[in-house]
Amino acid sequence: MSGGLSLVVAVADDGVIGDADALPWHISEDLRRFRELTTGHVLVAGRRTHESITARLGQPLPGRHTVVVSGSTPPGGPTAFTAGAATTVADLGTALATAAQLSAGAPQPGVVVIGGARVYAQALPQVGTVHLTRVHLTPGGDTLMPEGWLDGFTVVDSRDLATSSGADVTFQTLTRG
């Protein structure tokens, strides 16, 4: 993944991306792809997405710096990329500016948006690349991507995979234009 703003998301056939602040599936191959696409980058996440990750791992994502968008922000901020760290800011514009600044010192250039739905929707107009996992399930859930969210994007790479969990997925990369 080169520099710029990209987005990583897994979406079920029914448009679901989450349920009760968690993924409604566990697909090792998708988690491995997520790790490969995000390690060394600066990430932008909403507060609930970040809290879900830290609750599961007991810490921010290792090997990445996460800029968290939250209405309640502590004073101060980062001055340099620190792997496995998180910085909280008040809004997406500040998050993207902070992430871009941190990205200059990151092992991998570029900023990756990792969710949730509100952050995806707000960032999407500025995103150049989408790394999409199409999860061929209909799990139902309380968080969905909106209709037409991929309008203006073109598939540049696509690979189907039968996973160890039994769920079929399609890994796609899409670019704007």
The confidence score (pLDDT) of residue 68 equals: 96
The confidence score (pLDDT) of residue 159 equals: 97
To which H or E segment does residue 96 belong? Answer: helix 92-103
Looking at domain 5-176, its CATH superfamily turns out to be: Dihydrofolate Reductase, subunit A (3.40.430.10)
Interval 146-166: pLDDT, tens? 999 999 999 999 999 999 998
Q: What is the mean predicted confidence (pLDDT) over 16-24? A: 93
Tell me the whole-structure pTM to 2 decimals: 0.94
pLDDT for residue 56 is more than 80? yes
Closest CA to 119 of 101, 145, 151, 150: 145
Q: Hey, where are the domains in the chain?
A: 5-176
Interval 91-123: pLDDT, tens? 999 999 999 999 998 989 899 999 999 999 999
Q: How does DSSP classify residue 16?
A: E
